[in-house]
């Protein structure tokens, strides 16, 4: 067994830095002392080794990696036995190239006028990685029954007197809906909020899984099984179904839900791989993520603010203000 220490911030493998004498994450730059990491059992990861099919070098990966790169020859290395143990049903191939992802990343960085310069350095840009993220997609039928107290307001005038009438209506609805291919990312390393914001994916592009699609990209096997994701996905479908039922009630001044019941029936779930370009970056002790939908090009993430640029901006404003005040003092006095 090989032990590797996971970064508590982004989940990457930490390495010992001889200069800092600490374990450092090469992706987000989180650093931890040897003593601290050795005492944290939850950040230790069992690793397994296998041989690069091209040059024969020994490669070490975590238990969920299914496609990686050889550090010696640079070629793609697919871990076939892990893939075939639980083969994905389908895959959406990358439509966005790395060059397009880098271009989009640079445009995204320019939107933040106070973004640190290090975010557009060559070393940072080279860390943008294309990864096939494991997802479960679910098909559900939903039935919603609800009762609501609804009102309509009408105004009646008699001479100089105005009468306001509020009519109450007992409204009942029964709504049946079907939801197909509702996604939930099944990777422990990927932040759920980021993955949710990358939607929607166009499922018309789903193809039967074949190994060659993984060549040249990183890939992971799911961390969570379908039944372990059920609570999360059903909470999402529950909100969709209630919204659909409530949207059938129109034309009233007010609507107060008195009773609501939602029944969900799972029809099918499939294990699929979806394409994502991603970059993790740590700045001033906080982790920032750039992520792009590898099919549609949709970009999500948060940009940090450079303290040096902020100081320079305030200095420039102060200098201009001082100059304006001086000019005005000469003119008026």
Instruction: Give the model's pLDDT for residue 1.
Output: 37
pLDDT at 309 over 50: no
**Which one is predicted more confidently, 65 or 139?**
139
**Contacts for 242-247 with beta carbons within 8 Å, 24 or more apart?**
242/144, 242/146, 244/144, 244/175, 244/177, 245/144, 245/146, 245/173, 245/175, 246/146
Find residue 209's DSSP bridge partners: none
Q: Counting beta carbons within 10 angstroms of the beta carbon of residue 4, is it exposed (0 to 12), middle (13 to 18) or buried (19 or more)?
A: middle
Confidence of residue 319 (pLDDT cuts 50, 70, 90): very low
State the chain's mean pLDDT as an integer. 80
254 has which bridge partners?
A: 151
Region 24-34: mean pLDDT is 76
Q: Higher confidence at residue 97 or residue 54?
A: 97
User: Is the model more confident about 213 or about 309?
Assistant: 213
Q: What is the pLDDT of residues 245-254, one digit of tens each?
A: 999 999 999 9
Distance between CA atoms of residues 134 and 275, nearest Å? 9
* 3-class DSSP state of 296: coil
Which pLDDT does position 127 carry in this prediction? 82
Taking residues 88-104, what's their average pLDDT? 92
Q: What percent of the chain has pLDDT over 70?
A: 70
Residue 18's pLDDT is: 59
Bridging pattern class, strands 58-62 and 254-283: unpaired
Beta-carbon contacts of 239 under 8 Å, excluding residues fewer than 6 positions away, are: none
pLDDT value, residue 145: 97
Amino acid 2: pLDDT: 41
pLDDT value of residue 85: 73
Decide if 204 contacts 160 (C-beta within 8 A): no
| pLDDT tens digit sequence for 194-209 | 999 999 999 999 999 8
Closest CA relative to residue 62, chosen from 184, 280, 183, 218: 218
Order across the sheet with 44-51: list the strands: 2-5, 44-51, 58-62
Half-sphere exposure of 173 (CA within 13 A, CB side): 27
By C-alpha distance, which of 58, 91, 55 is closest to 73? 55
Residue 102 has pLDDT above 80, yes or no: yes
- Residue 231 CB neighbours (<10 A): 9
> Which pLDDT score, from 0 to 100, does residue 328 have?
55
Please give the structure tokens belonging to residue 306. 């450079």
**How many Cβ atoms from other residues are within 10 Å of residue 317's Cβ?**
10
Q: CB of 141 within 8 A of CB of 250?
A: no
CA atoms within 13 A on the CB side of 196: 6
pLDDT over 70 (residue 306)? no
pTM as predicted: 0.72
275-303 residues labelled b (16+ CB within 10 A) or e (exposed): bbbbbbbbbeeebbbbbbbbbbebbbbeb
**For residue 315, is pLDDT > 50?**
no
Phi, psi of 152 (to 5 degrees): -130, 140
Selected residue with higher pLDDT from 116 and 141: 141
pLDDT category at 115 given cuts 50, 70, 90 is: low
User: Would strands 218-220 and 254-283 be described as parallel, antiparallel, or unpaired?
Assistant: unpaired
pLDDT confidence of 242, banded at 50, 70, 90? very high
């Amino acid at each position: 067994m090989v032990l590797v220490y996971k970064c508590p911030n982004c989940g990457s493998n930490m390495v010992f830095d001889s200069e800092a004498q600490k374990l450092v994450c090469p992706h987000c730059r989180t650093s931890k002392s040897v003593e601290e990491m050795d005492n944290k059992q939850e950040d230790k990861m069992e690793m397994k080794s296998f041989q690069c099919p091209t040059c024969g070098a020994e490669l070490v990966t975590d238990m969920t990696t299914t496609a990686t790169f050889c550090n010696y020859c640079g070629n793609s290395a697919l871990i076939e036995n892990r893939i075939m143990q639980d083969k994905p049903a389908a895959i959406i191939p990358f439509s966005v190239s790395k060059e397009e992802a880098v271009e989009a990343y640079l445009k995204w960085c320019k939107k933040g006028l106070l973004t640190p310069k290090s975010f557009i350095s060559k070393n940072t840009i080279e860390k943008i990685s294309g990864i096939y993220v494991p997802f479960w997609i679910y098909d559900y039928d939903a039935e919603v029954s609800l009762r609501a107290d609804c009102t309509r307001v009408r105004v009646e005038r008699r001479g100089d007197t105005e009468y306001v009438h509020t009519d109450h209506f007992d409204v009942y609805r029964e709504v049946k809906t079907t939801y197909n291919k509702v996604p939930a990312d099944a990777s422990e390393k990927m932040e759920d909020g980021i993955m949710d914001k990358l939607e929607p994916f166009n499922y018309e592009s789903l193809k039967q899984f074949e190994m060659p699609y993984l060549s040249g990209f990183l890939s992971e096997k799911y961390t969570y099984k379908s039944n372990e994701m059920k609570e999360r996905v059903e909470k999402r479908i529950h909100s969709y179904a209630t919204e659909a039922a409530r949207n059938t009630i129109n034309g009233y001044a007010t609507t107060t839900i008195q009773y609501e019941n939602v029944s969900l029936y799972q029809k099918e779930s499939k294990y699929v791989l979806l394409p994502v370009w991603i970059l993790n970056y740590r700045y001033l002790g906080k982790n920032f993520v750039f992520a792009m939908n590898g099919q549609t090009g949709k970009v999500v993430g948060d940009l940090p603010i450079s303290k040096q640029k902020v100081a320079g901006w305030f200095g420039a404003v102060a200098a201009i203000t001082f100059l304006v005040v001086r000019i005005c003092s000469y003119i008026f006095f």
